[in-house]
Structure 1
């Protein structure tokens, strides 16, 4: 019984890591688990697959004019002068995080319901890679879903990067040339649509790499900037 409780706690902790709602210490602890090559990497990858679609399904809304002032009043925050609330980035992040967390909570309830006897679910077959920098930290986790022809890149603890540069993800087959998987923001989750060329390179000995490129990505189709993180790609069953 206690083991089951601890497993449930870990599962929710990995979900919270994907959602980005853990505090700095807890987030760093999960990032270390992911980098260590334990089952944490596979668990995080599965939560990415389950939760990341929510980011594209939450539609933008314009709240009533009284919402921001009400939030500030309840939190005991001073009312700023000459800062139009409609232009407050913090507000939109707060609303977006709340909506995503609520949707995720409902998804957790759905996923943790007892299964119906006789029901069958085909296992999700995913590839996962923890992209580690020279400092030994897990900067990103990448999950590749061949069935959906997409990859999800989730930030772990990325370091500071030069302004005006973009991070670009590559798959490097054994003995082959890098193939671009796409450009992604270094500190935000990103879903990347994958081409047939990328999917054809999936193999146990392939490596994922992140290079620092000019804005918009490499102009040559090959990495032109420094490679700042790498990770082997491995298979993960649901």
Structure 2
């Protein structure tokens, strides 16, 4: 064996090689042995010889399969607890999403969330004779949709027409959105609390800079004003 012939390890390098293979060396002696192992080819051969020798001692022993619980504990000790499959990790969140979807479906189609399906539709004519502009406002309580239909006249190309709702009990205009010049029928979803204020409310159309009022209040001229009410044929039903 090359390298130093003497060692502080009990029994010399050859005995230390046997103890190293069996895992019997203390931690501080392992560090010293591995430092010598890295530079001593004959010592590495001793380690390989001891590994082969100790392996032959188990040749006549019949293999015994470990019970599943022992195997699981051993694997957890060596490799840590196994990770759950991704679908099992997501299962609690998927369950919550499915439950939320079922609740939403029941609310929309089972009558739990009634936006006023029995309430009449409301209309207001919003005409501007000086410009030949004719608009019709329409609120559908069953779907919670506010609509403005462009029936006649040219919309300004460099300005926006903004829609305002003034509740019957109040004088502060609330912006509902802008008239879309690209379509004949502008449709705007309305929150339920705002929809409850539609009956008897006034609807106004103001001319604003492109994109709407920069202040949250009407800044341009009021082109038309009308009050939401059921049509006569609807009210008669």
Q: TM-score range by the shorter chain?
A: 0.3 to 0.5
Larger radius of gyration: 2
TM-score normalized with structure 2 length: 0.43
TM-score normalized with structure 1 length: 0.43
Q: Per chain length, whose mean CA-contact separation is higher, i.e. which structure has more relative contact order (CA < 8 Å, sep 6+)? A: 1
